[in-house]
Amino acid sequence: MVNADVIAVIGELAALAAAFCWTLSPILYKAALSDAKPISANISRSISTTIFLFACLGVSGKLWDLVTLQRDALFLACLSGVVGLCLGDTMYMLSLRLVGVSRAVPVGCVYPLFTMLFATLFFNEQITLFLLMGAILIVVGIWLVSQEGNKSNNVARKTLLKGVFTALATAIVWGVSITLMNNALTLSGDSADTAFVVNTARMSATTLVFLTLSPLIDRQFQFMKLKRKTWIILALAGIIALGLGWFLLALSLSCIEASRAVPISSVSPLFATLIGALFLKEKVTVRIFVGSVLIVLGTSALFVV
């Protein structure tokens, strides 16, 4: 029998690995967005990731689990995909293109705050002192991240504000999507295997909607004209974020409680800020770094019980 301490360590490492996945994927998105519009990039990423997830279910012999998924859970998972992956991730890619990894990732990662606010508003959960403290830290952190050193450059300032507000809108949309996803998992069972099946349904709905609407939202099917290298980068990013990252978080939650797993997995803003400065040559000021730290602390405070 596996020792409880070993299981806890596995859970913590899985949460940390999920955070790394969610740091690496936006870096790849950013690289691909130099050759692709956000909507074209998201369609390409969605197709590739859906194929990968279906292949994983086929190899593991769990493809039938997708067919037998409870109807309400299936509906919520699909709706979560349309809201979070179609709309939310497209806005996320736009914010990455506008303000870079070091700003877009920290602001986008405040979605747990909105998830909890929605749970409070619609599911009668109580507002705690730590929720208020976390919200204050997150607001201050976003304010610091949105500051521009050179205020005389009005064009850069407008781009900065547009990018930050787009990332914040992404967080709100992700908050709705995660709330729907959590309810889907509750209905279908909170295991790592079930989470993978539900996530596949979520991804499939995203791809189906994109392909249906592509004549309107991606005229002349620009996603089909992307370079092979761009397709590979987007496919890799999608697999890392929506395949491996989600699986690792589900594994973590099956080993340790959410109050430990989610804060650990939420350190990706710090990773993103450091990587943005060291490898992407983004200008990371003290304000951006401190803002990222406050966002991580605020997100962690949300899960203190």
- pLDDT computed for residue 305 by the predictor: 60
Closest CA to 265 of 250, 276, 275, 277: 250
> CA 252 to CA 240: how far, in whole Å?
16
How many beta carbons lie within 10 A of that of residue 186, not counting itself?
Answer: 11
Which segment of 94-108, 210-224, 244-258 scores lowest on mean pLDDT? 244-258
Categorize the per-residue pLDDT at 190 as very low, low, confident or very high, splitting at 50, 70 and 90: low
DSSP assignment of 178-246? HHHHHHHHHHH-SSHHHHHHHHHHHHHHHHHHHHHHHHHHSGGGGGGGS-HHHHHHHHHHHIIIIIIIH
Domain that holds residue 237: 4-301
For residue 2, what are its two tokens? 């596996």
For residue 1, pLDDT beyond 70: no
Categorize the per-residue pLDDT at 273 as very low, low, confident or very high, splitting at 50, 70 and 90: confident
Categorize the per-residue pLDDT at 131 as very low, low, confident or very high, splitting at 50, 70 and 90: confident
Q: What average pLDDT does range 163-178 have in this prediction?
A: 93
- pLDDT computed for residue 129 by the predictor: 83
Closest CA to 243 of 34, 78, 88, 17: 17
For residue 154, pLDDT beyond 60: no
Categorize the per-residue pLDDT at 303 as very low, low, confident or very high, splitting at 50, 70 and 90: confident
- Quick one: what percent of the chain has pLDDT higher than 90? 52
For residue 257, pLDDT beyond 80: no
For residue 8, pLDDT beyond 80: yes
For residue 135, what are its two tokens? 């919200």
| Residue in the block written with tokens 């729907």 | 180
Q: Which helix (H) or strand (E) holds 275?
A: helix 268-278
Segment 51-80, tens digit of pLDDT = 999 999 999 898 898 888 999 999 999 999
For residue 231, pLDDT beyond 90: yes
For residue 295, pLDDT beyond 50: yes
Domain count, the chain: 1
For residue 152, pLDDT beyond 60: no
- pLDDT computed for residue 170 by the predictor: 96
User: Do the beta carbons of residue 70 and residue 18 sit within 8 Å?
Assistant: no
> CA 181 to CA 194: how far, in whole Å?
12
Which segment of 65-74, 110-119, 196-205, 282-291 scores lowest on mean pLDDT? 110-119
